[in-house]
Structure formats: C-alpha cells, structure tokens
A and B are shown apart, each in its own frame.
Chain A
Amino acid sequence: MSEEPLLKVENLKTQFFTEDGTVRAVDGISFEVYEGELVGLVGESGAGKSVAALSVMRLIDSPGVIVDGEVTFKGKTLVGYEETTGEPGEPPELVEREEMLTEEEMRTQIRGREIAIIFQDPMESLNPVFTVGSQLREFIELNRDLSGTEARAEAVQMLREVGIPEPEKRYEQYPHQFSGGMRQRVLIAMALACEPSLIIADEPTTALDVTVEGQILDLVEELQRKYDTAFVWVTHDMGVVAEICDRVNVMYLGEVIEQANVEELFYDTKHPYTEALLASMPRPDRTTGELNPIRGVMPEAINPPSGCRFHSRCPDAREVCRRVHPDLRAIENGDHDGDENGRVHRAACVKHDAFDVGYPESEPLENEATGGFEVGLTQEGSR
C-alpha cells in the first residue's frame, strides 16, 4: 500500500499582507494524504489550519497570497512556482510553473469534482433564499453531466443517504427550516454528491452540540468507508481526532510541529505542545474539577518568536529553544519506527536526539509555563 500520496503539500507558505505587517499564517507546512485516509489538522485558533485548508484549494483572497510551496494532487500541480522574488513586506512576484493549473482548470477540474470542502458553520454555508434541494441540484448539475430530473433524483437520493428523514419533502424546504445538524448533513451530502477523492472538512462539527456532533462523526465514518473518500479534517478538538482520524498533523503558529499516526500521537507524544494540548482537555474521569490550560496566548503570526515558536509557553523550554528553530524531523523510537508505508512519527522539538543542538546542557528558560503565574480556570467556568 505504499502508493503515491493523493495529496502532497510541501513547504506551503501563505501570507497576508496587511497594513500592520505580514501575517505568516501558514509558514512552510508539509503533509501528505493517502487515498481513503482521514488526516487530522489540529491546533488552537489562529494556528493556520483553515488557511492551510483553503490554500490547498487556492481559495485565498486578497490580501492573502500563497507565496511559496508546492501542492500536488493526483499528479496535477495545484500550486507550484518557478521562482518567487520580492521585498519583505510586499506581495512577491510569482512566476507560476507551466504545469500549474489555471484558475479555470481549478474551477472545472478540481473544486467540487475532485476536492470538496465542508465549512465550519452549517448555518451560514447554505444560501438562505433558495431551497436546499435546488442548491444541491445546482451543485450536482454543475459537476456531473446529469439532466434536471436525473439531478433531482440524485439530490433526493443523497439527502436520504446522509440520513435526512422525508427527503422528498425536505428537498422543497429552505435552509432556515433545517436544524444545525440537519444542515450539516446537507453540506455533507453536497460534498459527497460528486464523489470527490478528497473532502476538506473545516471544523464541521464545531458549531454543533455534542450529541449531534457524535451522530455526524458516525455518519462521516460510515460514508467514508462506503465511498473510500480521503478526508482532511480540520479541528481543534482532540476528542474528534481520537474518534475518527488515521493520521494527525498538529499545527502551531503556522507550522506543523508534530506528525504521527493517531495512536502514537496520543500514547507516545513527542512535542510538548501536543502534550499540553492533550492535558488541557476536560476529563470527566478526573475529580479535581480544575482545567489544565496551556499558559499564555499564542503569539501573533505577524511577529513570531525567535527559535522554537512555542518556547514562550513551553514547560520544557531551555535557553537553546530561543535560538534554534527546529524543523520537522523523524523521531527514533524503537517500536513505532514508522508504519508499513514508511510514514514515520515526526516532531519539531530540539529535546529529541534527532536534534543535536545541546538541549540537555542548556539552561532552563523562565516563562509563563515554567515559572509563571497560576491561572485558576475551573472546568465549569470555561465550558
């Protein structure tokens, strides 16, 4: 099964050129998605997850620009530049490679047909002035060569598929007559309607309550098995990751800082940020009632910290972390030395032996996490 990846993202950089400075929202991330795989993209708000997802589809609007990197999908180049030149703080001059798809090709070959996207807020993702059915049908007509009545039948069938009761009747109704969970089902139906190879789900369950979220996740798993669609699942919820993902990319401040199979990520965490993220989850099986938040706030992406970007909040931070900016490297660890595809556990933290920069001898660093103040958040207070 060590085939070519379906989607390959290499050193992708997306920046927003604002009046306050250049926001490096996505700063050189790389990851792969194989066929039929569910890949998580996890991180706090502002980590660049959504921008990364939209960059893959080339849906970044001004002032955002994909300034560097390469995205290949099924052998087609979605993003690829010959050269990029420019002053810092200014959008660069980009020379596109010849094989990079034009905007027209992106629209007719990729968007909707090969890669579909499910947005975060099901309340906002449907046009309020048209019936749900007409929108679904429009989408099917657009991307598949079906006539009006066939498309209609297909749309009704899709509504049934995603578990919407009375699909014939629901077809004629407007989005405001649907509940949040039902609308998310419609959006899933829309994404699946053209049987794309990849669906990017941008926090699709964040706006839903937990019971509905559970139902939607079950539905996605079921449909994923049936259609063998690959997913990129953008989320900040480690619970969701645990439930559905095969592989996970943890993002912090525009960078992927850990990349692993889901079991390894949870049971053999390699990056202190991932550890902190896991520790911060509310745990009903613990009785203390105290939450364990990550200290401090994420620094601004306009002016990221020197060295490791997490050093200002990292409990394991040492002097060297302020100087050395770690890249994502394979971490040696006996048992879990990559799976059958050679997909290895990678992390960007200098405390591992793969980085020989003198971490053990370095002085511990004073910061909010190591010597800082106590923030007494209770579990009830923050939920």
Chain B
Amino acid sequence: MMAVHETQGEEEFADEPTEGGVDEVEARVGLAYTLKQVKRDSTARMGFYIIAFITAIAAFVSIDYYLLDYAMAKAIPFLHHPERDPEVINTLLPPVGMENGLGSGTWEHPLGTDHRGRDILTRLIYGTRIAMTVGFMATAIGLVGGTLVGAVSGYYGGWVDDVLQRITDTIYAIPFLVLVIAFMSAFGRDISYAMVGVGIASIPVFNRLIRSRVVSIREEEYIEAAKAAGVKDRNIILRHVIPNSFAPVLVQATLQVGVSILIVAGLSFLGFGAQPPTPSWGQMLAASRNYMLPAPTFSIWPGIAILVTVVAFNLLGDGLQDALDPRINN
C-alpha cells in the first residue's frame, strides 16, 4: 500500500507556476480593473463622461452658491443671477432663432427665459446642484443603511433575519413616492428631508439585494476559515462578507442615483423638495406646466436635463454590471 503512494509522491517535480507564470495572470479584482473594463465599453464610457461633466458643473455651482453668493454667475457673461428676478423683465422668451407670441430669442438668453424673466440656461446649470446632491446623498443613505441591514440579516439568519426582513417588506409595500411624501409631511418640506426620505425609502432595495448574496457567501469556505481563525463576527461581515457581495450593489447604486434624481424631480414637481426661488429641474417643470401653450420650450429644457442625467447613470450602471460580472469574459 505504501508503495502506491511513493511512486506518485516522492519524485521531485519542478513547482508548477515558478517559471514566468507569475506575471501572466492579470488581477481581475479592484478599482483599476473595473475602470479599465468600463472604459472598454463605449456606451458605459459615454455615461461616465456625461456624469463626470454634470458632476463637475454641480461642484462649480455649489462653490458659487455656498461660498461666493453667486459672484461667479455675475462675472461670467452668459450667466445671470439664477434666483433674483431681472431688472428688465422679458418673460417666456423662446430660445435663440425662434419666435413665440411674446417675442423672439436673443443670445442674451440662449435657451429663453421663464415666467419671471429669469434665464433658463442659468437655472438649468444651477439646478444640477440639487439634482446631483440629492441623487448621491439619497443613494449613499440607502446604500450604507441597506448594506448593513442586509449583511447582518443575511449573515445571522434566524429571527434576526425574520425581524429585519419583515420591516423591510413593510417599507417596501408602501409606494415609494407616498412614503417620501408622508415622511416630508411629518418632518418638513425642505430638500434635505427629501434626500433623507428617498434614502430611507431605498434601503429595502439594497437590503434585499445584498441579503440574497450574503446568504450564499456565508456558506463559502473562506468564511468558515475566517471563523476557524478566530476572526470576530463584525470583521467577518465587514472584511469578508460585504466586499464579496458588493458587485451587484454597486451596479444598483449607480442606477439608484438616476432613480433618486427622478424621484426628487417628481417631488419638486409636486411642490415638495426645493422651494422657489432655488433653481431645481423638477420645480422648473412644475412652473412650466402653466405655460405649455405660449412657451412650449420652457418645459422641454428641464425634461432633457433630467433625461440625459438619468440615462447617463443607467448606461454606466449597465457597463459596470458587465465589467463586474465574472461570467462575461472579454
């Protein structure tokens, strides 16, 4: 019997991956790899650039708003003060090269003016601040909350899981918009409550997604190995369970930013969220509704802004999904 094994084992073979094999396998994990994959995908790349562009504008106008009190808006020629009514009031002007019953478009207001004579382009640009802040913050709240709840719930199972998931189901059963409106009615109509409200309402989305992954991840042998090595539960969840469950959550988060922007625009349209005169896309839409016939272009511009932003996030999300999916080999 012993002879059997000796013939197979004793002979010294050169250890397989020594020669040159080390560099040839590419690391298929991590941020650098993911970005590389996303860059290969042309639609995802476009989404990424659009988001980068809008985010840059949002950062610029936020600085102007918070620190400079619209000084930059006054300094840059084609921008106007986004909130104050102008001295010479030309309401509902059409864009350049077009005419409506109230006048014809001028280069001073390339996209026309709104019902109070304010420049639409300026207000669109300054509207990115609300849209992006709300999109990212609401998603961040949902992401962090949902990930923690979902990971704990999936990892421990049993009654912990039952309690957390039934609460989640309860929240999920209430329509999204109704939930946020109820939340804002209780706490206040301010935009920051809209942000928190949308964040809380999106916790179930992330919670369920990550829980379903964690339930399978927790059975993996490296989790067992970590337990056998004496790692604390908390560190197992944070270091081993969540990072391995995170890929679909990241994709969902990207899509969720778009969804949040859309929801908050909807809220603003209904009169919740950003209050006049703060420029926001949803509120511009709401205002334009009354002037659809005399100035149809007024309502088109904020619509396009919302559409482009949401589509950009969707494109990036799809690209990320492909990049992070181990089954797609490119």
Binding site for B on A (CB under 8 A): 57, 59, 62, 106-108, 110-113, 116-117, 119-121, 124-130, 138-139, 142-143, 163, 165-166, 169-170, 173-174, 176-179, 181-182, 187, 190, 210-215, 217-218, 238-240, 242-243, 266, 278, 281-285
Given A278-B1, A284-B4, A284-B7, decide whether A178 and B230 contact each other with a Cβ distance below 8 A.
no
Q: Is the CB of B27 within 8 A of A125?
A: no
Q: Is the CB of A243 within 8 A of B6?
A: yes
- CA A180 to CA B2, docked complex, whole Å: 25
Chain-A contact segment, one of B8-16, B64-72, B139-147, B173-181: B8-16
- List 8 tightest A-B contacts by C-beta distance, closest first: A214-B9, A111-B230, A239-B5, A112-B229, A112-B230, A124-B221, A242-B2, A117-B228
Q: Is the CB of A213 within 8 A of B9?
A: yes
- Beta-carbon contacts under 8 Å, B1-44 to A: 1-11, 13, 15-18, 22, 25, 27-29
For the complex formed, measure the closest distance between the CB of A182 and the CB atoms of chain B, giving whole angstroms.
Answer: 6
Please indicate the chain B residues that have their CB under 8 angstroms from the CB of A166 in the complex.
22
Given A121-B221, A170-B22, decide whether A129 and B29 contact each other with a Cβ distance below 8 A.
yes
Given A119-B224, A243-B2, decide whether A129 and B244 contact each other with a Cβ distance below 8 A.
yes
B227 within 8 A of A: yes
B220 within 8 A of A: yes
B75 within 8 A of A: no
Binding site for A on B (CB under 8 A): 1-11, 13, 15-18, 22, 25, 27-29, 158, 220-222, 224-232, 239-240, 243-244
Which residue of chain A has its CB nearest to the CB of B7? A284
Please indicate the chain A residues that have their CB under 8 angstroms from the CB of B10 in the complex.
214, 218
Q: Is the CB of A111 within 8 A of B228?
A: yes
Q: Is the CB of B230 within 8 A of A127?
A: no
Please indicate the chain A residues that have their CB under 8 angstroms from the CB of B18 in the complex.
165
- Classify the secondary structure of B's interface with A: helix
Please indicate the chain B residues that have their CB under 8 angstroms from the CB of A178 in the complex.
17
Q: Is the CB of B29 within 8 A of A174?
A: yes
For the complex formed, measure the closest distance between the CB of B244 and the CB atoms of chain A, giving whole angstroms.
Answer: 6
Q: Is the CB of A143 within 8 A of B1?
A: no
In the complex, number of A-B residue pairs with CB atoms less than 8 Å apart = 134
- CA A169 to CA B25, docked complex, whole Å: 13
Given A239-B4, A239-B5, decide whether A163 and B221 contact each other with a Cβ distance below 8 A.
no
Add 7 more A-B contacts to A178-B17, A179-B17, A210-B9 (CB < 8 A): A110-B230, A181-B16, A217-B9, A239-B2, A266-B1, A282-B4, A284-B7
Which residue of chain A has its CB nearest to the CB of B19? A165
Please indicate the chain A residues that have their CB under 8 angstroms from the CB of B13 in the complex.
211, 215
Which of B3, B5, B25, B229 lies in contact with A240, CB distance below 8 A?
Answer: B5
Q: Which of B25, B227, B230, B239 is packed against the most chain A CB atoms within 10 Å?
A: B230
Which of A116, A127, A181, A284 lies in contact with B244, CB distance below 8 A?
Answer: A127
For the complex formed, measure the closest distance between the CB of B192 and the CB atoms of chain A, giving whole angstroms.
Answer: 35
- CA A4 to CA B228, docked complex, whole Å: 25
For the complex formed, measure the closest distance between the CB of A348 and the CB atoms of chain B, giving whole angstroms.
Answer: 22
- CA A109 to CA B2, docked complex, whole Å: 38
Q: Is the CB of B4 within 8 A of A107?
A: no
Please indicate the chain B residues that have their CB under 8 angstroms from the CB of A285 in the complex.
3
- CA A111 to CA B228, docked complex, whole Å: 5
Which of A121, A138, A179 lies in contact with B16, CB distance below 8 A?
Answer: A179
Please indicate the chain A residues that have their CB under 8 angstroms from the CB of B25 in the complex.
173, 176-177
